[in-house]
């Protein structure tokens, strides 16, 4: 799934960069944040690792440490806006000394403000977030659901709708005790609606 997403992003970026007139590309590289912003008459693109919990809409788990510079679990802020559709993805990864059950209890309570909290299981590290864009004729978003066979070591809590969801994916730490978890916000829209 990551390879398909990465390929799609490079294709979209290539198309945006090839458009004439009104194109502005800006790349910033700081010690912590790496971002790329592309603005054109066809749409705007933002790629970066500059996501933050305030934008995701969930608090930090007490005592959790943000994972930085992890090749397999990068923080992400991806936004693509065109007149035809829009997509925003924010991901932050953390480590905690507490067991997964305690982290899940904390976020189960915090996710309630976004609606019914669905609990799923997956084998995908960092969770298996699926986005299903509503048909152009439909103004109603689809309900969240568990994907696959709903088994595996990763517990994923989801709240919201399929095109506007908050999620937390928690799994046992790779080494020793504790938990590794990702906090995620995904919003997608068709022609109608704003992000």
Single pTM value for the model? 0.75
Q: Within a 13 Å sphere around the CA of 146, how many CA atoms are in the beta-carbon half? A: 17
By CB atoms closer than 10 A (0-12, 13-18, 19+), residue 179 is buried
Per-residue pLDDT of the chain (195 residues; tens, 9 = 90+): 344 344 444 445 454 444 444 444 444 444 455 778 888 888 888 888 888 899 999 999 999 999 876 666 678 888 888 888 888 999 999 999 999 999 999 999 999 999 999 999 998 765 555 554 444 445 556 889 888 888 889 999 999 998 899 999 999 998 888 999 999 999 998 765 554
Say how far apart CA 158 and CA 129 lie, in whole Å: 9
Residues 45 and 37: beta-carbon distance below 8 Å? yes
């Amino acid at each position: 799934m990551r390879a398909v997403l990465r390929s799609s992003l490079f294709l979209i970026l290539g198309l945006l960069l090839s458009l004439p007139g009104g194109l502005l590309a800006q790349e910033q590289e700081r010690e912590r944040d790496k971002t790329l912003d592309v603005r054109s008459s066809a749409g705007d693109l933002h790629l970066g690792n500059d996501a933050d919990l305030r934008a995701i809409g969930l608090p930090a788990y007490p005592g959790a440490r943000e994972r930085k510079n992890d090749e397999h679990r990068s923080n992400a802020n991806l936004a693509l806006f065109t007149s035809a559709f829009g997509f925003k993805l924010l991901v932050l990864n953390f480590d905690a000394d507490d067991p997964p059950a305690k982290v899940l209890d904390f976020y189960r309570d915090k996710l309630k403000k976004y609606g019914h909290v669905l609990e799923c299981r997956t084998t995908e590290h960092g969770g298996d977030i699926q986005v299903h864009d509503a048909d152009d004729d439909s103004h109603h978003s689809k309900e969240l659901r568990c994907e696959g066979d709903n088994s595996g070591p990763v517990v994923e809590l989801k709240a919201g709708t399929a095109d506007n969801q908050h999620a937390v994916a928690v799994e046992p730490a790779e080494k020793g005790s504790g938990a590794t978890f990702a906090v995620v916000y995904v919003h997608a829209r068709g022609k109608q609606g704003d992000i």
